[in-house]
Amino acid sequence: MKVLITGAGGNLGRVLAPALQDNGYTPVLMDFRPLDTPYEFIQGDASSKADVFRAAEDADIIVHGAALHGVHLQNHSRDEFWKLNMEGTYHVYEAAREHGIRKVLLCSTMGVYGASISVPDSSFAVVTEDLPCLPGDFYGLTKTLAEELAGFYSRSHGIRTISYRLGMFVPENFLRYGFRLLKGGVDDRDVAQAFLLGLKNDTIMFDAFNVMAAVPFSLEQLPQWREDPRALLESRFPGIADLVTRRGENIDELLGAWGHVYWSIEKARAGLGYQPGYNFAEFYRALQSGNDAHYPFADLPWWGVPEQT
């Protein structure tokens, strides 16, 4: 089965393409940059309808990843966001309709929630997919609209879509990667797992799922997480502050100001069978044993030339 990945030269493609191959799929990579990759590659621009139609011609399923995202907000215009994120998504669904492709796996973002997760000082937000999408920036808006578009093609043309509201998985250093798993981060391998589950799924017509690491606290512990995250962390993971200090970092800085948000992955667990294998507990064990190789993605080489930003 051929799986076309648009925007395949980035963080998603470099972990998903080998995972697809390992699981018996044939990855076909599309990117507007020339990529030096061992997989079948089609150079093309997702904001060109002709390019997307050409790339999708032989595909059985499309993973639509090509997008400008959060880091691009600073130096890309709204026009550019609209052209790639909206027109690109439209082209993908039109190509699916034209070529009889029955399923699209859509990259969305945790950024669709926006104002839904800003809560008063002493409170916290439990982020489930039931919250309204109230994006606070143009990127989140394009992804919210892309989900709407997907819903339309599912209802009107029977094209199944699973929309992944992905947590953060841009490369980070080991400690920042680990602490990010507490506040909406996700390991690249778990992102790949979620997509593999979506490929196998034949019941979902259209739905959206949070895809993050599992938070190592219960909902009942949230007030404590809000009040004193460091103490709660230390009670669950003894010596964590020390391990961080020994590496020359500060645990309070790493924890940051995100103690008011609890990212729920219960829907993805129930609906997709998603079971993240790289959570804070695994990071803690790797930190204890000094095994930074637990997170191999920070230094993974890019395919081809780095993207111009």
Ligand X SMILES: NC(=O)c1ccc[n+]([C@@H]2O[C@H](COP(=O)([O-])OP(=O)(O)OC[C@H]3O[C@@H](n4cnc5c(N)ncnc54)[C@H](O)[C@@H]3O)[C@@H](O)[C@H]2O)c1
Shortest spacing between CB 195 and ligand X, in angstroms:
10
Q: Which of 203, 200, 309, 288 is nearest to 244 (CA)?
A: 288
226 binds ligand X (CB under 6 A): no
For 212-280, list the strands marked E by DSSP: 261-263
CA angle 232, 184, 116 (to 5 degrees): 100
Concatenate the DSSP letters of all residues of 177-231 into one string.
HHHHTTTTB--HHHHHHHHHHHHH--S-SEEEEEE-PPPSS-GGGHHHHHH-HHH
65 binds ligand X (CB under 6 A): yes
Nearer to ligand X, 140 or 222 (CB): 140
Task: Tell me the Ramachandran region of residue 41: left when phi exceeds 0, alpha when psi lies from -120 to 50, beta otherwise.
Answer: beta
Shortest spacing between CB 139 and ligand X, in angstroms:
7
CA angle 64, 149, 15 (to 5 degrees): 15
The CA distance from 46 to 225, in Å, is 42
7 binds ligand X (CB under 6 A): yes
Query: Given the rule CB under 6 A, which of 31-39, 122-130, 174-182, 266-274 is the region that contacts ligand X?
Result: 31-39
Task: Tell me the helices (H) and strands (E) count for the chain, helix number first.
Answer: 13, 9
Q: Which of 28, 81, 91, 109 is the binder for ligand X (CB under 6 A)?
A: 109
66 binds ligand X (CB under 6 A): yes
Whether 265 contacts 212, CB under 8 Å: yes
20 binds ligand X (CB under 6 A): no
Q: Which two tokens stand for residue 69?
A: 């995202």
Nearer to ligand X, 70 or 216 (CB): 70
Shortest spacing between CB 300 and ligand X, in angstroms:
11
107 binds ligand X (CB under 6 A): yes
19 binds ligand X (CB under 6 A): no
Residues 6 or more apart whose Cβ sits within 8 Å of residue 30: 4, 5, 6, 7, 8, 41, 42, 43, 44, 46, 51, 52, 55, 66
Q: Point out the catalytic residue in the list 93, 139, 262, 274.
A: 139
Q: Assess whether 93 carries a catalytic annotation.
A: no
Residues near ligand X (CB under 6 A), total: 24
State which residue has the least CB distance to ligand X. Answer: 10
135 binds ligand X (CB under 6 A): no
Shortest spacing between CB 68 and ligand X, in angstroms:
7
Q: Which of residues 158-187 bind ligand X (CB under 6 A)?
A: 166, 168-170
Nearer to ligand X, 7 or 135 (CB): 7
Q: Interface with ligand X by CB under 6 A: which residues?
A: 6-7, 9-12, 31-33, 45-47, 65-67, 69, 84, 107, 109, 166, 168-170, 307
Instruction: Please give the positions annotated as active site.
Output: 139
